[in-house]
C-alpha cells in the first residue's frame, strides 16, 4: 500500500510538472495515461491529490475525449465530490459537458443542482436561456442565485438575442427575471420588447420595467416615465418611476429639460416636487427658471423644496436668486439654505477658482455664527492674500474670532509669494486676539519662520543688510570710513 501511494504521488508530480507536453501540435485526443491518473486521483480519498487533479481539469488535459471521461465519472462519485467536479467542468468551459450538466439540474441533491446551474454560465447555449430563467424564477434561494449569476455571465451577442426572444413568450415570473438580467447586462436593444410589459397587470412586472428604464433609458423615454409617475396610485411604483426619471435626466441632461417642464402641467404636489429634483439633474437656464417659478407655487411644500433645490444648484447662475433669499432674514430656513448655497458655489472647484468677493458677500449676508464659520472654513482652504485679508477682518468680531484666527493660520501656513509683511501683521493680530493656545503657537511659529535677516549699522546710521550686500562692498565702505578718521 505504501509503495502504491508513493508511486501515485510520483506519477502525479511528474504529470503536473510537465503538464500535457506529450500532446502533438493540433492533436485533440486525450493522453490516456494522464487522464487515467486524473480520474484515479479524483476517485481516491486523498483531498490534496484530488484538488490537484481538479486543477488540471480546469487548466490542462485538453480535448473533448478527456472531457467525456470526466463527465462519465460524475455518477460514480459521492455528492460532495460531484459538486467539485461540476465546478471544475464549468471553469473548463468545454461545451461537450453541457448535456450531462443539464441533466444534473434534476438531481435529488440541491448542492448538485446549484453547482450545475452555476456551471452553465460558461456551458449554456442560447436554447438554455428559458431553463435558467425558470430556475431563477421558481428555484430555491440558492438555485435562484446561481441561475441569476449564469444569466448575467453568459457571453456573446447571441445570448442577448436569445434572452430577448425568450422574453416575448415567458411567463410572468420568468419575464421579471429576464428583464432584470437584460438590464444588468445593459442590453439597450431589448427596450422595445421590455416596454411591451410597461402596462402589465402585474405590479412586479411593471416595477421590473421601471428598474430597466432606470439603467437603460435615454432622453427619448422621458415622457413615458413621466406619464407613469403622474398616473400611478401605487407608492412603490411612483418611487421606481421617480428613480428612473432622475437617472434618465442625469444621463440626458438638458435634452430632458423641455419634457420635464411640460410635466408640471396638472401635476400634483408630490409630482411637482419629483420634477424639481429631475430638473436639478437636467440643469440649464430653462430648468433654473422653472425652479425660480416654483418659489411662488401655491403649495408651501413645493415652495420650500424649491428653495432647497435652488440651494443645491450646480451652476453659479443661481447665485442672484440665492442672494435675494438670503436677504430675507425673517425666513430663517430659507436664509440659512441660501447662505450655504452661495458659499458652496463660491468655493474653489476642480474647474474654477474661488470667488472671494462672493464669499465676502456671503459673510456680510450671514446673520448666524454657524454660517459665518462655514464661510471661514471655506476661506481657510484658499491660500491667497485676498482670503487672508477677509479672514483677518473677522478677528474683530468676538463671536467668530477664534474660528477666524484658526482659518488665518491655515492660510498663512500654505500661502506662497505675496507680502510677508501682510502675513506677519495678521499673525501678530492672531496672537493678541485668540484664546486657543494651539492657534497662538502655530501663529508664533509662522512669525519665527518669517523673521527678517540680521542687519549691520554703520557709523553714519546707514543700515546694511548683511545677506543682501556682498562683504566686499561692506569692506569698502568701512575702509573709506576709517580713512576719513585719519585725514
Ranges of each domain in the chain: 455-487
For residue 267, what is its C-alpha cell?
Answer: 401635476
Show pLDDT as tens, one digit a residue, over the chain (487 residues).
444 455 455 555 545 554 544 444 444 444 678 899 999 999 999 999 999 999 999 988 888 999 999 999 999 999 999 999 999 999 999 999 999 999 999 999 999 999 999 999 999 999 999 999 999 999 999 999 999 999 999 999 999 999 999 999 999 999 999 999 999 999 999 999 999 999 999 999 999 999 999 999 999 999 999 999 999 999 999 999 999 999 999 999 999 999 999 999 999 999 999 999 999 999 999 999 999 999 999 999 999 999 999 999 999 999 999 999 999 999 999 999 999 999 999 999 988 999 999 999 999 999 999 999 999 999 999 999 999 999 999 999 999 999 999 999 999 999 986 689 999 999 999 999 999 999 999 999 999 998 876 554 444 444 444 444 444 444 443 444 344 434 4
- From 17, 12, 70, select the one nearest 41 (Cα to Cα): 12
Residue 445, burial from CB neighbour count under 10 angstroms (0-12, 13-18, 19+) = middle
Contact 254, 283 (CB under 8 A): yes
Residue with cell 422653472: 290
Q: DSSP alpha helices (H): ranges in 124-189? A: 129-138, 141-153, 157-169, 172-184
Residue with cell 549691520: 456
Q: Is the pTM of this model over 0.85?
A: no
Amino acid at each position: 500500500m505504501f509503495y502504491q501511494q508513493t508511486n501515485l504521488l510520483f506519477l502525479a508530480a511528474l504529470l503536473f510538472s510537465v503538464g500535457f507536453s506529450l500532446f502533438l501540435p493540433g492533436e485533440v485526443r486525450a493522453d490516456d495515461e494522464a487522464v487515467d491518473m486524473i480520474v484515479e486521483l479524483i476517485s481516491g480519498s486523498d483531498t490534496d491529490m484530488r484538488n490537484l487533479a481538479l486543477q488540471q481539469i480546469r487548466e490542462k488535459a485538453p480535448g473533448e475525449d478527456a472531457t467525456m471521461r470526466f463527465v462519465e465519472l460524475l455518477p460514480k462519485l459521492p455528492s460532495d465530490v460531484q459538486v467539485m467536479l461540476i465546478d471544475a467542468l464549468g471553469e473548463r468551459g468545454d461545451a461537450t459537458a453541457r448535456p450531462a450538466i443539464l441533466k444534473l439540474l434534476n438531481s435529488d441533491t440541491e448542492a448538485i443542482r446549484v453547482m450545475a446551474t452555476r456551471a452553465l454560465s460558461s456551458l449554456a447555449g442560447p436554447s438554455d436561456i428559458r431553463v435558467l430563467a425558470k430556475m431563477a424564477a421558481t428555484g430555491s434561494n440558492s438555485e435562484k442565485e446561481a441561475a441569476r449569476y449564469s444569466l448575467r455571465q453568459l457571453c456573446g451577442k447571441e445570448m442577448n438575442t436569445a434572452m430577448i426572444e425568450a422574453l416575448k413568450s415567458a411567463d410572468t415570473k420568468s419575464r421579471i427575471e429576464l428583464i432584470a438580467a437584460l438590464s444588468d447586462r445593459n442590453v439597450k436593444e431589448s427596450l422595445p420588447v421590455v416596454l411591451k410589459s410597461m402596462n402589465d397587470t402585474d405590479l412586479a412586472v411593471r416595477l421590473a420595467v421601471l428598474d430597466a428604464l432606470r439603467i437603460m433609458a435615454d432622453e427619448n423615454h422621458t415622457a413615458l416615465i413621466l406619464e407613469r409617475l403622474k398616473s400611478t396610485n401605487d407608492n412603490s411604483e411612483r418611487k421606481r418611476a421617480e428613480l428612473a426619471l432622475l437617472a434618465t435626466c442625469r444621463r440626458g441632461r438638458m435634452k430632458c429639460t423641455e419634457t420635464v417642464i411640460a410635466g408640471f402641467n396638472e401635476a400634483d404636489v408630490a409630482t411637482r416636487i419629483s420634477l424639481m429634483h429631475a430638473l436639478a439633474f437636467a440643469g440649464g437656464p430653462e430648468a433654473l427658471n422653472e425652479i425660480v417659478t416654483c418659489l411662488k407655487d401655491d403649495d408651501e411644500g413645493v415652495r420650500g423644496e424649491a428653495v432647497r433645490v435652488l440651494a443645491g444648484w450646480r451652476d453659479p447662475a443661481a447665485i442672484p436668486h440665492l442672494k435675494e433669499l438670503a436677504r430675507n432674514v425673517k425666513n430663517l430656513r430659507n436664509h440659512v439654505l441660501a447662505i450655504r448655497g452661495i458659499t458652496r458655489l463660491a468655493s474653489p472647484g476642480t474647474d474654477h477658482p474661488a470667488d472671494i468677493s462672493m464669499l465676502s458677500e456671503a459673510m456680510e449676508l450671514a446673520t448666524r455664527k454657524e454660517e459665518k464659520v462655514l464661510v471661514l472654513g471655506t476661506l481657510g482652504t484658499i491660500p491667497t492674500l485676498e482670503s487672508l485679508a477677509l479672514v483677518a477682518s473677522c478677528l474683530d468680531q468676538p463671536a467668530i474670532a477664534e474660528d477666524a484666527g484658526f482659518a488665518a493660520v491655515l492660510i498663512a501656513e500654505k500661502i506662497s509669494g505675496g507680502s510677508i509683511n501682510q502675513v506677519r501683521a495678521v499673525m501678530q493680530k492672531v496672537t493678541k486676539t485668540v484664546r486657543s493656545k494651539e492657534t497662538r503657537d502655530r501663529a508664533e511659529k509662522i512669525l519665527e519662520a518669517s523673521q527678517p535677516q540680521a542687519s549691520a549699522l554703520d557709523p553714519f546710521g546707514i543700515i546694511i543688510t548683511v545677506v543682501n550686500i556682498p562683504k566686499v562692498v561692506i569692506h569698502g565702505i568701512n575702509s573709506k570710513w576709517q580713512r576719513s578718521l585719519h585725514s
